[in-house]
Structures are given as C-alpha cells and as structure tokens.
C-alpha cells in the first residue's frame, strides 16, 4: 500500500486531477483497510484509461490571468469539514493549484465559498 501511494504521489506533480484523492488515501498509510486498497486500485484504473491527461504548456498562449475557486461544505466525510480548491491559469497554462481541508467547520455554503475565495486571493497576491 505504501509503495503504491509513493508512486501516486510522484505522479501528482503532473496529474493534478488525482492530487486530492491520492492525498486522502495517503492519510491512511499507518493502518490501511481493504476499502483504502480498493480506492488506490481505482485511481490506478483511472490512470490507465486517461493516459493523455496531464499538464501541457503550449508555446503560443496569451498572458491573461484567470483564477477559479470552489468549496464543498462538509466535503471531507471523516470529520465533516469543508474542502476548498483554487487554480490559476496564465492564458491556457495552469500555473498554480491549491486544495485544502479547512481547519474549522463552516456553518453555511456561503461561508465555505468565502473562505475559498480568500485563499484564492492570497494565492494570486503571492
């Protein structure tokens, strides 16, 4: 299980679509259950059927900065905390991505989105 997680963590540098799932599975390395092993095998199956996905940086692209953020109220099922994510594009190229389980429990969807927008603005300023 640990070697599979290590291989997947190596792949997350170029495959951001699996980043959140791999990090979630990596939390259970100390005592993984059979359900965690099935989840890791499912990630490998996903990778086998989507080999052309990944980060691509074309030569001719505009330099317009676009940024997106999203939040999921109670998205982490273990302790019901919100998860948020942001991504920044310079033209067509992904230059930054950020996923996080929030430290506190949001009381509404609006509050979760507000927290995600704040972290997105902080990433842009950086």
Q: What is the pLDDT of residue 120?
A: 85
Which carries the bigger pLDDT value, residue 52 or residue 76? 52
For residue 46, the SS3 value is helix
Containing H/E element for 9?
helix 2-11
Kindly indicate the confidence band of residue 112, based on its pLDDT and cuts at 50, 70 and 90: confident
pLDDT in tens, 98-109: 888 877 777 888
| Paired strand residues for 84 | 71, 100
pLDDT tens digits for 19-52?
Answer: 889 988 999 999 999 999 999 999 999 999 988 8
């Amino acid at each position: 299980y640990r070697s599979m997680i290590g291989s997947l963590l190596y792949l997350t540098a170029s495959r951001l679509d699996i980043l959140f799932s791999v990090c979630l599975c990596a939390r259970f390395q100390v005592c993984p259950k059979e359900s965690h092993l099935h989840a890791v095998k499912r990630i490998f199956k996903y990778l086998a059927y989507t080999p052309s996905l990944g980060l691509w940086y074309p030569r001719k692209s505009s330099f317009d900065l676009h940024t997106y953020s999203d939040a999921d109220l109670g998205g982490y099922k273990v302790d019901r905390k919100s998860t948020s994510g942001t991504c920044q594009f310079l033209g067509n190229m992904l230059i930054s991505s950020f996923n996080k389980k929030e430290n506190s429990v949001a009381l509404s969807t609006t509050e979760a989105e507000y927290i995600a927008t704040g972290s997105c603005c902080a990433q842009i300023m950086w």
